[in-house]
Amino acid sequence: MRCPERGMALVTVLFLLTLLLVMALLFSDKVTRAIRNTTRTAARDQALQAAGAGIEWARPRLAASYAASSGWADYLAGAPAGDRYPATPAFSTVVGRVTVDIFLRDNADGDDDPQRDNDLKLLVLARARSEGGPAVLVESLCGFTAGSAGYRQAGGGSGRSGATADSLDRGWSAPAATFAVRD
């Protein structure tokens, strides 16, 4: 006698193999997305750290160039009106593998002239973009202490950083005053 359900095992095996293949594809897609998200997060964190380092890199250079640039007039000469930064960066540096562009503009100091600083404070914007990640912007309001030819530490003197602001030969020894910038 012949079995009327001939070939049913083949159909069942093909169905189970198809189901396993779909599950493997879903799992590999999930792993790929997780790796991609982790890479993007790491790239964003790297760019954020590089932008902060770019601001720290620019602070002693701004302090050293204050007198030579006529109170930063050279940097502010092409500043647009309003609360916009110039299109061209004042400085560019590379931190690790990330290029950081530093933009400068005068803060709202009451004179309505974005090309002239009169309160010894500048807004410093660092734009960093790592490979495969988004561009990160970090803005800092930096104050200059003209009497010492350097920046001062926010909330204290040399006791907070362990160094004086007068020694500009080492970048870490010339901290800038940083004030909270509200959105």
| Residue whose structure tokens are 């790796």 | 35
Confidence category of residue 68, pLDDT binned at 50, 70, 90: confident
Yes or no: say if 136 and 123 are a contact pair by the CB < 8 Å rule.
no
DSSP-assigned beta bridge partners for residue 122? 106, 142
Whether the per-residue pLDDT at 45 is higher than 80: the answer is yes
Q: Which two tokens stand for residue 149?
A: 């030819």
Yes or no: say if 154 and 142 are a contact pair by the CB < 8 Å rule.
no
* Distance from the first to the final alpha carbon of the chain: 84
Half-sphere exposure of 126 (CA within 13 A, CB side): 26
Whether the per-residue pLDDT at 15 is higher than 50: the answer is yes
Question: Which amino acid is present at 9?
Answer: A
pLDDT at 118: 65
Cα–Cα distance between 3 and 127 in angstroms, integer?
Answer: 75
The model's pLDDT over 146-174, given as tens digits with 9 standing for 90+, comes to 555 455 544 444 444 433 333 333 333 33
